[in-house]
């Protein structure tokens, strides 16, 4: 027999053993030393984290989260298939800064390893159905073909005119002779909707073959390279995009290689000369408030090449700042 102060715990353990031996009993008991929140260690009830309020399952809400663990079209550095789980971990630990906004986690698309067409079909169908449940859908890739498949579901859902606004270091309009590459995503999106307004922001002239800019013009895609952004400023570019988008419904996509590798090293195709973390946060917040996108995706985060999770952490911060819904 232990000391008197140990006896309550002894009785708790005896009770739990009794419950285990009588599993038909429906009474629920909470062990006193099991943590209620896995998203914070400081016991501050006023500091509510997203993971503590998010609802999980195929349910309706204001903002939905959907993961696509797929990187079957990566030509350089693989690993973005594990990005949804890593980015979610950081997203869930962030403070819930939006009052009365209902966030739901719809889970991950069940991808098919080795079958990109079936995977993309499943993403398209899932995005289409998810848009029936939420006002704003946050999609976590995956390589950038995630964005292409997401656009297919987005375009299928909305019958009115749409716009695809992408932040990326590359135009993604390659012409290839064989194989599969995420470097063709914007070209494919143009094929899905020949009339959509498409803009790519943050392209590096020094990191892309000259013919790609000609291909973009031929496909009627607006390219805002980093020199243009530097000259006109973030606010100037946001205003110009707003004017060109007009009343179209928007799909906003963020390829994390648009950020300078000093701030986002864990990406598929890093390119020097990009945005700082502060600049890209401000850019996404301004675009989201102005355009009110119904779909926002983040793609090409590659955790195996990251340093101390700073790219995954940044991606989660961008998703938080992309939320424009206010009840």
Residue 26 — very low, low, confident or very high, per pLDDT cuts 50/70/90? low
Q: How far is 67 from 87, CA to CA, in rounded Å?
A: 10
123 Cβ contact partners less than 8 Å away, ≥ 6 residues apart: 68, 70, 109, 111, 146, 149, 150, 152, 153
Task: Give the distance from CA 224 to its chain's centroid.
Answer: 22
pTM of the predicted structure, to 2 decimals: 0.90
In this predicted structure, the answer to whether residue 2 has a pLDDT above a threshold of 70 is: no
Give the count of beta carbons closer than 10 Å to the beta carbon of residue 46: 5
Q: Which residue has the higher pLDDT, 67 or 43?
A: 67
CB 71 within 8 A of CB 80: yes
- Write out pLDDT tens, residues 184-196: 999 999 999 999 9
The pairing of strands 134-141 and 61-68 is: parallel
Domains of the chain listed by start with CATH number: 1-34 (no CATH), 50-321 (3.40.800.10)
CB 74 within 8 A of CB 80: yes
- Write out pLDDT tens, residues 66-111: 999 999 999 889 999 999 999 999 999 999 999 999 999 999 999 9
256 secondary structure, DSSP code: G
Nearest to 284 by CA among 216, 327, 220, 237: 237
- Write out pLDDT tens, residues 128-154: 999 999 999 999 999 999 999 999 999
Is there a cis peptide before residue 35, judged by omega within 30 degrees of 0? no
Give the count of beta carbons closer than 10 Å to the beta carbon of residue 101: 17
CB 315 within 8 A of CB 268: no
CB 307 within 8 A of CB 265: yes
Beta-bridge partner residues of 275: 259
Nearest to 58 by CA among 154, 158, 120, 125: 125
């Amino acid at each position: 027999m232990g000391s008197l102060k140990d006896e309550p715990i002894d009785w708790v353990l005896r009770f739990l053993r009794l419950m285990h031996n009588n599993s038909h009993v429906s009474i629920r008991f909470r062990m006193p030393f099991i943590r209620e929140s896995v998203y914070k260690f400081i016991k501050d009830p006023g500091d509510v984290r997203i993971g503590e309020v998010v609802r999980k399952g195929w349910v309706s809400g204001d903002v939905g989260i959907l993961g696509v663990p797929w990187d079957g079209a990566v030509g350089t550095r693989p690993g973005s298939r594990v990005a949804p789980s890593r980015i979610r971990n950081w997203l869930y630990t962030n403070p819930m800064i939006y009052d009365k906004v209902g966030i739901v986690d719809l889970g991950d698309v069940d991808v098919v390893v080795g079958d990109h067409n079936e995977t993309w079909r499943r993403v398209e169908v899932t995005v289409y159905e998810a848009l029936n449940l939420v006002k704003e859908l946050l999609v976590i890739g995956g390589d950038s073909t995630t964005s292409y498949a997401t656009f297919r579901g987005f375009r299928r859902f909305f019958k009115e005119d749409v716009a695809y606004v992408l932040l990326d270091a590359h135009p993604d309009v390659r012409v290839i002779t064989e194989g599969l590459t995420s470097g063709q995503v914007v070209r494919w999106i143009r094929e899905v909707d020949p009339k959509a307004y498409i803009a790519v922001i943050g392209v590096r002239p020094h990191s892309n073959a000259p013919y790609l800019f000609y291909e973009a013009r031929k496909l009627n895609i607006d390219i805002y390279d980093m020199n243009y952004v530097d000259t006109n400023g973030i606010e100037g570019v946001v205003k110009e995009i707003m004017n060109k988008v007009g009343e179209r419904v928007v799909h906003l996509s963020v390829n994390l290689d648009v950020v300078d590798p000093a701030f986002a090293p864990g990406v598929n195709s890093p390119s020097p000369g990009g945005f700082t973390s502060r600049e890209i946060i401000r850019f996404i917040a301004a675009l989201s408030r102005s355009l009110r996108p119904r779909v926002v995706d983040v793609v090409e985060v590659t955790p195996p090449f990251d340093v101390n999770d700073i790219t995954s952490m940044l991606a989660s911060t961008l998703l938080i700042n992309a939320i424009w819904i206010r009840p």
